[in-house]
Structure 1
Amino acid sequence: MNKVKKIISVLGLSVVLLFTGAANAEIKIGVIDVMSVLQQMPQRETVGKALDKEFEARAKTLQQEEKKANDAAARLKKDGLTLSSSEKTKLNKTISDFENKAKAFSNDYRKRETEEASKLLTKIQEAVKKIVEEEKYDLILKAEATLSASDAVDITNKVLEKVKN
């Protein structure tokens, strides 16, 4: 029985010493506000302009079709009881076609926006990796995941400077 107690004591002491050593080692932690960096990146404005240009023709066409759809809806509301069934069907089709095109446009725009945002996030990740290597950080946390952090550990501006270059 004494041997078991000695083994447990030795193991317990080893664990305590292990954790004491880890507690004495300095851990360098950084916090980054990714959304802030994303919002302030100069590339973000360039991407926005490129997307607007890419979708400009479709947006203009959609605006024209929106006017037709609004006119059709107004006519249905005003004259709905007196219109023939084929005329109602035609007006409903105009409205439905516009809604489908608007939905497709919105989905396509969002998809492209997500693709471009992903590229920007990759640049942010690369900047963070460089800072981690250069300044020997052990842990980087997203600001959204922390309850509180001092300005001393905030590396948001450092990352922003890296992505600007």
Structure 2
Amino acid sequence: MKYLLRHCVVFLLAAVALVAQAQAQDFRVGFVNTDRIFREANSAKAAQAKLEQEFARREKDLNDLGASLKTASDKFEREAPTLSEQQRGQRQKALIDQDREFQRKRREFQEDLNARKNEELQQVLDRANRVVRQVAEQEKYDLILQEAVYINPKHDITDKVIKALNASR
């Protein structure tokens, strides 16, 4: 009786293992590297070019203002020993005010650029997610991951997604 019971348990365990293995083989997992999509997809490159064009003038103005401030500061350093106490104080105050204005404009520029960059990247990500869903449905994936500590390269479908994104443009 023990012999029969033991063999039944072993048989049941083997059957469970076979069923689990069969189900695991049907379960398809894919991985998408969103950083690569942001670097390599044509829509991401177009978004980057659009941002560069949109902010180029402000960036140039900011760089010019920074260069002007540096020139004024260098001039003050050279002339400070020959200036009266009152002139030195006035020029110092003017430089501090110019620097404060420069820092404010630089901060505003960075905030505006970051906000626009987030908007553009969100649009790219939304399109990429739609393409990921299409690829998953067409190729019958059960799960697509966008972040993982480790992924076997055979599960990486990023190239397929980038090709589909570039083709849908």
TM-score, reference length from structure 2? 0.76
Q: Which residue does 1:121 correspond to in 2?
A: 125
Q: Which residue does 1:147 correspond to in 2?
A: 150
User: What is the rounded CA distance, in whole Å, between the counterparts of 1:136 and 1:101 in structure 2?
Assistant: 51
Q: Which runs of 4+ in 1 moved over 4 A?
A: 17-23
Residues 68 and 94 of structure 1 are in contact (CA less than 8 Å); yes or no, is this contact kept in structure 2? Answer: no
Residues 28 and 136 of structure 1 are in contact (CA less than 8 Å); yes or no, is this contact kept in structure 2? Answer: yes
Percent identical pairs in the alignment equals 23
Q: Are 1:64 and 2:67 counterparts?
A: no
User: What is the rounded CA distance, in whole Å, between the counterparts of 2:59 and 2:20 in structure 1?
Assistant: 59
TM-superposed CA distance for 1:22, in Å, is 4.6
User: What is the rounded CA distance, in whole Å, between the counterparts of 2:106 and 2:41 in structure 1?
Assistant: 30
Structure 2, unaligned stretches of length 5 or more? 1-14
User: What is the rounded CA distance, in whole Å, between the counterparts of 1:97 and 1:19 in structure 2?
Assistant: 70
Residues 31 and 140 of structure 1 are in contact (CA less than 8 Å); yes or no, is this contact kept in structure 2? Answer: yes
Number of aligned residues: 149
User: What is the rounded CA distance, in whole Å, between the counterparts of 2:143 and 2:150 in structure 1?
Assistant: 16
RMSD: 2.4
Q: Which residue does 1:29 correspond to in 2?
A: 29
Q: Which residue does 2:159 correspond to in 1?
A: 157
TM-superposed CA distance for 1:80, in Å, is 4.4
TM-score, reference length from structure 1? 0.77
Structure 1, unaligned stretches of length 5 or more? 1-16
User: What is the rounded CA distance, in whole Å, between the counterparts of 2:160 and 2:78 in structure 1?
Assistant: 61
Residues 135 and 161 of structure 2 are in contact (CA less than 8 Å); yes or no, is this contact kept in structure 1? Answer: yes
Rate the CA distance shift 1:18–1:78 in 2: closer, same or farther, 3 A.
farther
TM-superposed CA distance for 1:20, in Å, is 6.8
Residues 69 and 98 of structure 2 are in contact (CA less than 8 Å); yes or no, is this contact kept in structure 1? Answer: yes
Residues 73 and 95 of structure 1 are in contact (CA less than 8 Å); yes or no, is this contact kept in structure 2? Answer: no
TM-superposed CA distance for 1:37, in Å, is 2.1
After TM superposition, list the pairs within 5 Å mapping 1:1-165 onto structure 2. 21-25=19-23, 26-80=26-80, 82=83, 83-142=87-146, 144-151=147-154, 153-164=155-166, 165=168
Residues 66 and 98 of structure 1 are in contact (CA less than 8 Å); yes or no, is this contact kept in structure 2? Answer: yes
Q: Which amino acid aligns with 1:149?
A: N
